[in-house]
Amino acid sequence: MNYTFIIKIVLFTLLTACTQEPQETTKPTESLVNAQPKQVPEVNDANCKFEYMKSITDKYIQQTLADNCMRRNTLQPTEHKPWTIR
């Protein structure tokens, strides 16, 4: 079998693949340039319910709201308990 012919074909293929023009990247369309930033709803008891979060179709807003709801301050002071050691 003629290995030099196969090596020439492989080298030719690699060189032509490396010298091709890069594909043109997509340019932002006018609608994306003028798009409004995504508005995350405010964190409150009504917006932090599971049913409301399920109704949000944008996954970024849904996840951000869920994260903010989990981080909100819901700590309340507890009454002091006198602990004794027996």
| Structural domain includes residue 61 | yes
Which residue type is seen at 73?
N
52 falls within a domain: yes
Q: Pick from 65, 25, 29: which is nearest to 48 by CA?
A: 65
23: left (phi over 0), alpha (psi -120 to 50) or beta: beta
pLDDT band at 83 (very low <50, low <70, confident <90, very high): confident
Question: For the chain, what is the domain count?
Answer: 1
CA neighbor of 57 nearest in space, from 46, 68, 65: 65
What CA dihedral angle connects 70, 42, 73 and 59, to 10 degrees? 10
In a domain, 10, yes or no: no
For residue 15, name the pLDDT band (cuts at 50, 70, 90).
confident
Establish if 26 belongs to a structural domain: no
Range of the domain at 53: 41-71
Is 66 part of any domain? Answer: yes
**pTM of the full structure:** 0.46
> Is 55 within a domain?
yes
pLDDT tens string 18-59: 666 666 666 655 555 555 667 888 999 999 999 999 999 999
